Amino acid sequence: MTQVKFKIKKGDTVVVTTGKYKGVIGEVTKMLLDDGKVIVAGVNEFTRNAKPSQTNPDGPYKVQKPIQISNVALVDAHGKASKVGYRMEDGKKVRYFKKSGEKV
């Protein structure tokens, strides 16, 4: 199975564009490339109930569930969602925001 190239990378600041968390800005903490999903800090958090044990002494714990990569957009320095493009600069491929023209 071939992997699709995504323009969002781990560590990028993104905004959620649809769903329950629409408008929330967070950082991409993990990419699930095979599923086309991302985990964004502070988005889609749930509490998993568990009995206290030696490995989990506190009991219930927080879990972050992934969201579709198509439901997030990169945020530029001005806080606006923008599409991303690629261009060549000094022989290197660089990502840039299509709205402002600035580098990512």
Tell me, what amino acid is at 89?
A: E
pLDDT tens by residue, the chain, 104 residues: 566 788 999 999 999 999 999 999 999 999 999 899 999 999 999 999 999 999 889 889 999 999 999 999 999 988 899 999 999 999 999 999 999 889 98
> Would you say residue 5 lies in a domain?
no
Task: State the DSSP string of the chain.
Answer: -PPPP-S--TT-EEEE-SSTTTT-EEEEEEEETTTTEEEETTSSEEEEP----SS-TT--EEEEPPEEGGGEEEE-TTS-EE-EEEEEETTEEEEEETTT--B-
Please give the tally of structural domains in the chain.
1
CATH value at residue 84: 2.30.30.30
**pTM higher than 0.85:** no
> Would you say residue 36 lies in a domain?
yes
Range of the domain at 24: 13-51+60-97
> Would you say residue 77 lies in a domain?
yes
